[in-house]
Amino acid sequence: MVRPAILSVLLLVLVGVCPPPPTLAADEKPAPAGDLTKKFVIVNRKVGADFQSELVKRVEFRRLGNREFLVGEYCVNVEAGVGKEWEGVQLWVPVDGIQGMMVFTDEAKAFSTIKENAVPKDKQ
């Protein structure tokens, strides 16, 4: 009988010391990701069975209907295969389709990262 009492006391102590993590109320939203309008963002997203990465600028989050989107303008770089025909074109990516993002303050560094980590076409 002593053991269950000791376990109960230990359990109460642990619960008091380690409270559960805070949760958001149903009507609360997580804090915004910060101002991305002056940053360059590599967006990794899943399209069907494939993954794609795009470099966009002037990024913001917008709502369309019941869905949240990351919206950004393509960064033009002929060397990277993004020609002048993409200038001014916006990419809308559903937030739930984003696999990851990398944020840069410098466009050249972002394109350098893309170039360094590109998967050769014969390996895709």
Domain assignment present for residue 108? The answer is yes
Domain assignment present for residue 4? The answer is no
Domain assignment present for residue 40? The answer is yes
The whole-model pTM stands at 0.64
User: How many structural domains comprise the chain?
Assistant: 1
Residue type, 82: V
Identify the residue with better confidence: 10 or 49: 49
Domain assignment present for residue 10? The answer is no
Burial (CB count <10 Å: 0-12, 13-18, 19+), residue 5:
exposed
State the residue range of the domain holding 48.
Answer: 24-123
pLDDT band at 8 (very low <50, low <70, confident <90, very high): very low
Domain assignment present for residue 35? The answer is yes
The whole-number pLDDT of residue 35 equals: 81
Domain assignment present for residue 71? The answer is yes
Domain assignment present for residue 62? The answer is yes
